[in-house]
Structure 1
């Protein structure tokens, strides 16, 4: 098995006014040629957005943009006419396609903590779409929850041959990683787990290319990216 451990301290750390962000891969003002993404997975930004602030209206195109809110509530508006609140435990997927403009604002009085994930699509210039689901793994611990996938029966449909799953694993429990694609990338949100003999803690991620078992050293939450390319 080939493995590569991406430590939390190797992520880019950017703090600019109302936004504090840790970048797993090169993004914006932080660039590292060693960290340009894993296959179609291009961005994992770990963002803390101060109260009464956020991302004003801005454009995207030809990108699958997945948002996971971990704490607080973010308010969304877009050029397709969608207006929604995304609460902790909820996920949003914007398929930007030919182009979309949107804003994500923290209208509350406390900071919002979220992950913003970009995956490059395998279809260019498609019609933009918006999807949102509630899927909090802490409510059903010790099992995988599928968040997005390429098939119509996935909770949210992504324009890429990839699946994104999440789990909350209680201390001492195990979960098998049975990949359907070529590459696995597990990003730990909180806690500490063991994969293939590697200790992976909050903010770390592990790339590996074979079957594996995850064991939780502490109560832990993580995301598994099952990627074809």
Structure 2
């Protein structure tokens, strides 16, 4: 199987006071021309946010911004009037569209661990929207859970011909990857997996085109991005 491996150690590592972040793709002050994104997937930031700190109010536009909280609770507030907590096992999708201002603050006494994911939309200057769901794959392991997609059957609607799924695969178990959109990108949140002859550890990822099987070498949580071949 032809594949592009993205080892965890090749991520950018940025630590500035209250924020420690590992960037899968070039972001902010960290730049590597080999890692500029895959298809419409532009950002995966693995963030650790200190207690009583966070991202103050700032703007975004024309980007689909997905947040996956892995530990703790982050408090969201935005210019559309949305305000509340997003806790471990919950997902938030902001379609920034024509523009939105928001803040994400850790108001607790312990670190918050989350993934921040950006997808380039296929529709520009649309009306901003906000969506939030609970989907903790640990509660139903060894199966794919659809998080976002372009159609009404998805729990959250994204403005791109892409689907994002997650799973907790227990050691020794396997799941099939049958792509509908042609480019697969699997990011390992925790644990270790094997895809074809390739081993991918926590923080690493692999991109490939063909259908494949993913086997957990140890209990592993993963995200599968089913992405378009070309960005509309």
Q: TM-score range by the shorter chain?
A: over 0.9
In the alignment, which residue of structure 2 is the partner of 1:43? Answer: 43
Separation in structure 1 between the aligned mates of residue 22 and residue 74 of structure 2, nearest angstrom: 18
Query: Equivalent residue of 2:97, what SS?
Result: coil
Separation in structure 2 between the aligned mates of residue 114 and residue 145 of structure 1, nearest angstrom: 18
Separation in structure 2 between the aligned mates of residue 198 and residue 109 of structure 1, nearest angstrom: 39
In the alignment, which residue of structure 2 is the partner of 1:175? Answer: 175
Query: Structure 1: which 5+ runs fail to align?
Result: none
The CA deviation string for residues 102-139 of structure 1, in whole angstroms up to 9 with x for no partner, is: 00000000000000000000000000000000000000
Query: Equivalent residue of 2:218, what SS?
Result: coil
Do structure 1's residue 82 and structure 2's residue 85 form an aligned pair?
A: no
Deviation at 1:186, TM superposition (A): 0.2
Q: How many positions carry a matched residue from both structures?
A: 229
Separation in structure 2 between the aligned mates of residue 23 and residue 201 of structure 1, nearest angstrom: 16
Do structure 1's residue 150 and structure 2's residue 150 form an aligned pair?
A: yes
In the alignment, which residue of structure 2 is the partner of 1:132? Answer: 132
In the alignment, which residue of structure 2 is the partner of 1:9? Answer: 9
In the alignment, which residue of structure 2 is the partner of 1:215? Answer: 215
Query: Equivalent residue of 1:187, what SS?
Result: strand
In the alignment, which residue of structure 1 is the partner of 2:53? Answer: 53
In the alignment, which residue of structure 1 is the partner of 2:68? Answer: 68
The CA deviation string for residues 65-104 of structure 1, in whole angstroms up to 9 with x for no partner, is: 0000000000000000000100000000000000000000
Q: TM-score, normalised by structure 1?
A: 0.99
Separation in structure 1 between the aligned mates of residue 24 and residue 44 of structure 2, nearest angstrom: 5
RMSD: 0.5
Deviation at 1:152, TM superposition (A): 1.1
In the alignment, which residue of structure 1 is the partner of 2:116? Answer: 116
Separation in structure 1 between the aligned mates of residue 33 and residue 218 of structure 2, nearest angstrom: 33
Query: Structure 2: which 5+ runs fail to align?
Result: none
The CA deviation string for residues 135-166 of structure 1, in whole angstroms up to 9 with x for no partner, is: 00000000000000000110000000000000
The CA deviation string for residues 152-201 of structure 1, in whole angstroms up to 9 with x for no partner, is: 11000000000000000000000000110110000000000000110011
Separation in structure 1 between the aligned mates of residue 138 and residue 121 of structure 2, nearest angstrom: 29
Query: Equivalent residue of 1:217, what SS?
Result: strand
Moved over 6 A (4+): none
